[in-house]
Amino acid sequence: MKQIDGGVCAAKGFKASGVFCGIRKNKTKKDLALIYSEVPATAAAVYTTNLVKGAPIDVTKRHIVDGIAQAVICNSGNANTCNADGIEIAEMECELLSKELGVKAEDVIVASTGVIGQPLCIDPIASGIPELVSSLSYEGSDLAAEAIMTTDLSKKQIAVEFEIGGKVCHIGGIAKGSGMIHPNLATMLVFITSDVKISKDLLQKAISSDVKESFNMMSVDGDTSTNDTVAVMCNGLAGNKEISSEGPEFDTFMKALNTVTVYLCRCVAGDGEGASKMLECKVNGAKTAEDAKIVAKSVICSSLVKAAMFGSDANWGRVLCAIGYSGADVDVMKVDVAFESKAGKVAVCKDGSGIAFSEEIAKKVLTEKEIDILVELNDGDGEAVAWGCDLTYDYVKINGDYRS
């Protein structure tokens, strides 16, 4: 398995595009994206568990209930959430794209991201769709990745190549997400494409299982978005025999999928609103895998831990505190903690108590852009990884005037 270029266009038969249509006031930012499969594809998705959901989620759920999709259209700058005509607008997007692209409206996945509670006018989308379709390209992933960004500072995309049944296969993805990141079943907006042939039931099982180990183990600010969606389309053009049961080929697909999702997780965590550092909490030695997940997520979500990492302060007591209130079954008198980065590693806690360490070395370790928080519970074989970022002054600045 190797990483390659191409993002959502790396898989055979996929094109993408991104344009500015006028939803945003800033004409330098693209605000409408399209991903298109030349043939109908097997589709699956997972969504936010927030009771307040964007209108596009209701429409997308109905459209892929049969496990088939051929296109994704997504706008940024407006979430189309809590609007009286939101579902109507989302359906109109699909109808307009259907006529221009020549696909069935019910085979379109629709998504929106941006400000909540602001009416979304169909006019700019309607005027932008012709250009969106005409600019479709096998090299268009970069444009689509840009067009779904809101407060993101960087585009997020990846693709990998691997083999199944002697056939060369590909899977790629793009993501957006910077704030309002604390997923449950899905996160932000993530669109994944593959040329693998796989049944709809196994594809749904694959993405539903994967998010528990990837996107659900990430947090930027503790807020679960109203529009979270992770959607996958697999068009089968790689030519492999359909994966219709679990086994080695399904395992290979799962590994490739997880490679893509974990990479995107790290990208989103590192690009958290106002963030200056990406944090990875690795937990080992838990009584169960579930206990390990609870601990890792608790540490990553701690505002005090995040603030300490921003200040390059080796305040390991905050890590212990987060472990203690996590709800996991932990013997705190067995816990070891260390911090690690490319500048080195420093142990700061042994058996639940502080140990002597160099503050100078610790500061050097924690000044790096990527920091690992290593937690050893010494009580079993459970392990987990979670991703997050530091908490800076800029997070408040960004969200203090988000609507403007």
Q: Are 156 and 201 in contact (CB under 8 A)?
A: no
Is-catalytic flag, 113? Answer: no
Distance of alpha carbon 281 from alpha carbon 274, whole angstroms:
20
Distance of alpha carbon 155 from alpha carbon 81, whole angstroms:
24
Q: Are 118 and 226 in contact (CB under 8 A)?
A: no
Distance of alpha carbon 51 from alpha carbon 124, whole angstroms:
29
Distance of alpha carbon 264 from alpha carbon 176, whole angstroms:
9
Task: Map tokens 């090299």 to a residue.
Answer: 139
Residue 184, class by beta-carbon neighbours within 10 Å (0-12 exposed, 13-18 middle, 19+ buried)?
A: middle
Per-residue pLDDT at 186: 52
- What CATH number belongs to 2-270? 3.60.70.12
Task: Map tokens 């895998």 to a residue.
Answer: 289
Report the phi/psi class of residue 81: left, alpha or beta, with left for phi > 0 and alpha for psi in -120 to 50.
Answer: beta
Distance of alpha carbon 82 from alpha carbon 154, whole angstroms:
28
Which of 247, 87, 252, 267 lies closest to 189, judged by CA?
A: 267
Beta-bridge mates of residue 72: 35, 109
- Selected catalytic residue, list 42, 48, 81, 187: 187
Q: What is the pTM of this model?
A: 0.91
Per-residue pLDDT at 317: 97
Q: End-to-end alpha-carbon separation of the chain, Å?
A: 44
Angle at alpha carbon of residue 27, lines to 48 and 123, rounded to 5°: 65
Residue 253, class by beta-carbon neighbours within 10 Å (0-12 exposed, 13-18 middle, 19+ buried)?
A: buried
Q: How far is CA 368 from CA 137, 274, 277, in A?
A: 38, 16, 7
Task: Map tokens 């550092």 to a residue.
Answer: 277
Per-residue pLDDT at 185: 53
Q: Are 44 and 207 in contact (CB under 8 A)?
A: yes
Per-residue pLDDT at 403: 61
- What CATH number belongs to 278-400? 3.10.20.340
Is there a common fold for 2-270 and 278-400?
Answer: no
Which of 13, 31, 212 lies closest to 115, judged by CA?
A: 31
Q: Is the dihedral of CA 200, 201, 206, 209 positive or negative?
A: positive
Domain range list for the chain = 2-270, 278-400
The list of the chain residues with pLDDT below 70 reads 179-181, 183-187, 402-404
